[in-house]
Chains A and B, each alone.
Chain A
Amino acid sequence: MMRATIVNDPIDIGSLTREAESDSCGATAVFLGTVRSTNEGRNVDGIEYSAYEEMAEKEMMAILGEAAAKFVIRQGIIEHRIGVLAVGDISIAVVVAHPHRHHAMDALRYIIDETKARATIWKLEHYTDGSREWVGAGTGQPR
């Protein structure tokens, strides 16, 4: 089972790991991305995430398909939250299940790296001094 979803509500990691459970899988690997309090020396108050939702979900499903082909994972779930998130909130969860741990962890790294590079999602950082900035907007194109 593969699922990639953009969500507005807080991510419930317990429910995701239960969803990924399978009797044939002895390894469940989880990655959580959270909003941190500083970025490039500036104090962050929160991050506003937005997405081209239909395309982001399509791209994340393609990434899960690639991971299934490369690492033979049985279960893969990506949830990415959008909206205004506070420091410490989970912005993304990736859960992968495989019979064995090495493939689960390799797949997990592949999925999060590709999602960050390809999914049509943006973040507007809000700083404690009241200013805000689009992350990556001044750096040219990533592809």
Chain B
Amino acid sequence: MMVTVRLFASYAESIGKSEVSLDVGSGSTVADVVKAIAELAGGDRLPPSPLVAVNRTYAKGTTLIFDGDEIAIIPPVAGG
């Protein structure tokens, strides 16, 4: 199944992309997606357990993902 991974700020800069399409097996979790992204070039600069949102809601590493989900890997926020 296909999911879209969105990257922002320092994470996007490290990996050189702001969006990645991933083909993952059914039953995959947020942690599986993070692992796949960490294996990309520059992905070693991500922390082991970054904040993640699935479809714009913060999610845990154990959260199951489904076809078409939008998974965002979220650097430490610094608005204001």
Contacts and interface: CB of A to CB of B under 8 A. Distances in A.
Contacts, number: 79
Nearest to B49: A141
A39 B16 CA distance: 27
Contact of B75 (A117, A137, A143): A137
Interface string A1-38: 00000000000000000000000000000000100000
Interface residues of A, number: 32
A49 B9 CA distance: 9
Contact of B76 (A50, A55, A142): A142
B19 to A, nearest CB: 11
Contact of A119 (B72, B76, B79): B79
Nearest to B7: A52
Contacts of A55: 53, 56, 72
Interface stretch (A68-76, A100-108, A121-129): A121-129
Given A54-B56, A55-B53, A120-B74, A80 B79 contact: yes
Contacts of B10: 122, 134, 137
B79 A52 contact: no
Contacts of B80: 33, 80, 91-92, 112, 115-116, 121
A62 to B, nearest CB: 10
Interface string A37-61: 0000000000001111011101000
Contact of B77 (A54, A58, A112, A119): A119
A120 B47 contact: no
Nearest to A123: B78
A134 B74 CA distance: 13
Given A120-B74, A123-B79, A143-B58, 7 more contacts: A115-B80, A116-B78, A116-B79, A122-B9, A123-B78, A136-B76, A137-B9
10 contacts: A80-B79, A92-B79, A118-B77, A120-B72, A134-B75, A136-B77, A141-B51, A141-B76, A142-B77, A143-B58
Interface of B: 6, 8-10, 13, 47, 50-51, 53, 56, 58, 72, 74-80
